[in-house]
Amino acid sequence: MKERATEPQVEPAPAADERAVSGAGMVAWAQTLQRTAGNRAARRVLSRAVEMRAPGRGEASAFERRGEFVDRINRQTPGVLYGLDENNLLTHEVLDASSIQNFDTKMMQFIDDTNLAPMRLITNAGLVDGQRLLIDSFNLAYVDLDDMLACSDLSFQMNLIHFLEERLAIPDYSRKIGTNIAGFNRAHRAGIAAETEHLRSVVGDPDIQFTFEEDQGNGRVVFGFRSRPGRYRIFHIFTRRTGGVQGGDVFVLKEGERRQISIEQFLEERATAATAAQVERERLQGATEHRAGGQSVPAP
Ligand SMILES: [Zn+2]
């Protein structure tokens, strides 16, 4: 687990002996207060809204494995370092601003939220109403770490973005855990919207839309997306694996084709096509233009 030195969150209050009764003393005291307030503003530690937490006593806790969760989060992107502070709240530190991706933008937005989203970490053995959990429980704030770790990277990112967006959409979420929390449908839609936005960013296609979600039974749950102009569909599919773990993978079905390919292969194909198109553009331009300082200038 990564630990990061943090500044104290609260400045010590001015000592009582500074509150002298004389006028001069009062001025000094007021100045001290002002200075303190100024320092507090300048050194303000942003609120940390995403917490890793143990479930209840006697429950199938994965809390002691929270380091595995943080490591997996860190493996998604190179630009930001994530850690846990001494209160098990997620922290972020930008290592390279130029390589920040949508995953980082969202994670930093969640972490800096003024609300609080606990993630009560359980193993795959944890049951809710006698049933194994698929990834997370909104009402109980559980996150099944085994399920999360069984997901592909993109599935892992989409799940994390989905349930954090969902939890933070509920005012005072943390105080409502364990109740039948009102507002699920709206929060769930916000989670789907954030996932869709993430897919658009990863694929580079602003026309991707969410189309459906379906529990197909036997642990198989599918979330569908589509790009009409791009003429392909995306399926985020959860399946039951060995030991009852339910992991997610993302697939693409291009219009007119019968076989789904992995999103990873699809992204590779798109990158190759984009490079080929760029080379062709430059070849065509090269016939009529010279380049100077990165700008095109007319040929003499
Ligand atoms: Zn949801």
Q: Are 191 and 223 in contact (CB under 8 A)?
A: no
Element (H, E) at 232: strand 232-240
Report how far ligand 1's centroid is from the alpha carbon of 181 (Å).
Answer: 13
Report how far ligand 1's centroid is from the alpha carbon of 96 (Å).
Answer: 31
248: phi then psi, degrees, rounded to nearest 5: -110, 150
Across the range 106-126, mean pLDDT stands at: 95
With respect to residue 291, please indicate whether it lies within any of the assigned structural domains: no
With respect to residue 211, please indicate whether it lies within any of the assigned structural domains: yes
Report how far ligand 1's centroid is from the alpha carbon of 232 (Å).
Answer: 24
Beta bridge pairs of residue 32: none
* Band (107; pLDDT cuts 50, 70, 90): very high
With respect to residue 298, please indicate whether it lies within any of the assigned structural domains: no
pLDDT for residue 133: 85
Judge whether residue 68 has pLDDT over 70.
yes
* Band (284; pLDDT cuts 50, 70, 90): confident
Q: Rounded mean pLDDT of the chain?
A: 86
Q: Are 198 and 157 in contact (CB under 8 A)?
A: yes
Report how far ligand 1's centroid is from the alpha carbon of 50 (Å).
Answer: 17
Report how far ligand 1's centroid is from the alpha carbon of 177 (Å).
Answer: 15
With respect to residue 99, please indicate whether it lies within any of the assigned structural domains: yes
With respect to residue 239, please indicate whether it lies within any of the assigned structural domains: yes
pLDDT for residue 42: 44
3-state class of 252 per DSSP?
strand
pLDDT for residue 72: 98
pLDDT for residue 177: 97
With respect to residue 44, please indicate whether it lies within any of the assigned structural domains: no
Report how far ligand 1's centroid is from the alpha carbon of 161 (Å).
Answer: 10
**Domain extent at residue 118:** 50-275
